Amino acid sequence: MSHVNFLINLLFCMSVVVNALVITDTHAGRVRGYRVPTNDQNNLDIYLGIPFAEPPIGDLRFAPPVEKRPWRPKVINATQFGAVCPQGLEYIQRDLGQIFSNIHEDCLFLNVYAPKNDSDPDRLYPVMVWIHGGFFFYDSGSVYDGRILASRGEVIVVTLNYRLGALGFLSTDDSHASGNQGMLDQVLALKWVKRNIGFFGGDPEQVTIFGESAGGASVSLHMFSPLSEGLFQGVIAMSGCAVSPFALYRPPFSQIKNARSLAKQLGCPLYSSKVMVECLKQIPAEDIVRVEPERPVLYVPYAPRVDGYFLHDVPENLLKKGLFHRNVRVMTGFVHDESTSFISKVFDESGGYDVTTYDSLLNMFSSMFLHSDQVKSILTCHIPPSMNDSRQNLQSYMQLLSEYQFRAPHIHLAASLSALKTTTWFYEFNYQSPNYPGPKSKRVLHSIELFYLFGAPLFRTIPCPGERNLTCLQLWETTPNWDKEDRRISEIFIDIWSSFAKLGSANSSLLMLPNAKSWSPFDFTQQFLSINTTLEIRNEPKHQMLALWDEFPYLDYYAHPSNSCDILHGNDL
């Protein structure tokens, strides 16, 4: 299972057809969208498939995006989603069970969900721009229905597409394909928001960018990019951040090997990056996205990179130097059992790893590092195999991946930002509903919180406009049996996230904490909010694995750790 199990069931909408149409202006021309009533006697204006860039085809493939040319005097119909960016269909088939029907390279569209208060028509709303995840390889902004978050949170929600996989991140380490095309798509979309969101009733000086997994990595990478300066005031990085191992390619790894692997499989010459890229520009997009190139262990095939343009250095170095947009506020966190979603045996409660399999997994993990033998030795010291408990071995490996990919990076980011006086809020999502519509597990899985953030338990409260599947993408007819507690958690989640966007504070009127503590920003006490049936303020305990990553930096692939277990023992952990 992966984070798109969230997608399988979130895409529910009512069958009510609402035909009220509205027209608004943009700097490029007018757009026509829908107006739907909300349950608070107000309205919600919905504009789908607004183009923000020229089609990235032909000579624009593997190139930075170009701003959309004006279309005046005509009016664009923004009444159904634009095309989904090309992506590996086997991922969609495996995780969603259905192929997106409208996939095309001309995919740089965004969607706007804007609340309207008839009694205060001049009101400016805070803006929340959602950047989706999917390992930089699949997914789409149109999957994430912003109706409930926009209306309940009283914020404008913008979702967007960006180029994925090789089309979005292919790099030859030179000017012929410099990489980061997908990140530059995001920058152009943020510039569109800055320039145009006022037409929709949004405040361009009150923009929060938020995302999950690769989307969480994306939004926090924008904190370190000179190209993104001034385009947002808040960042919410969920289950992925700029210092997550999967956030970008770091030395000694380079994407040039991926590019050559792709070109070789597609029959393109390798002797010159210029000739190779020109050849790849002639290959149909659907052929490119079907190919999965060689890649390092635990790396995604394509990801952002340090290119000297979007990103001048790896974020961990920029953090040390204080080189990031320091006038933004940050919220970050994760769910309790992050990496369990990527291990199929989690859903087989009778299964586990025997000693041989566990040892092989540690070998695979350690092989990422230059001094793999020493890494393997210290990991075995920290999380030794159980000779007779295969489930314990499974639990140990899940802990290793969760700490390495998620917990350690997020705590490192929050602690570093806090030390540099950037206000940072930290949370952990621990709620596990018996009504969760995905694969059954006793764990809190990667991306499960998105059901509550986008208000899936509350979807019945606002009608779906237009034609089903073109406006709400109801891929499944199944309606989860959400209960009162699910709805309460969703209301709390929406209120916290929208309060952060509106007020710059993550404290919410719905945070009724039994210990009477208020939720304070992350500091040396490492205070965080645990979101469960009971909301609690906790202090992050010093896990053994976090002590390990303090001594043996998790992003240092050249690390030469000691074979000694001293760093893990003799301390009060």
Nearest to 500 by CA among 332, 324, 326: 332
Helix, strand or coil for residue 261?
helix
The CA distance from 505 to 72, in Å, is: 41
The CA distance from 18 to 457, in Å, is: 21
The CA distance from 123 to 116, in Å, is: 9
The CA distance from 467 to 84, in Å, is: 18
The CA distance from 550 to 269, in Å, is: 44
The CA distance from 306 to 178, in Å, is: 10
Please check whether residue 438 is in contact with residue 456, taking contact to mean a CB–CB distance below 8 angstroms: no
Residue listed under structure tokens 């009220």: 20
Nearest to 44 by CA among 444, 464, 349: 464
DSSP 464: P
Please check whether residue 354 is in contact with residue 390, taking contact to mean a CB–CB distance below 8 angstroms: yes
Phi-psi region of 201 (alpha: psi -120 to 50; beta: other; left: phi over 0): left
* Residues assigned a catalytic role: 213, 338
The CA distance from 39 to 150, in Å, is: 13
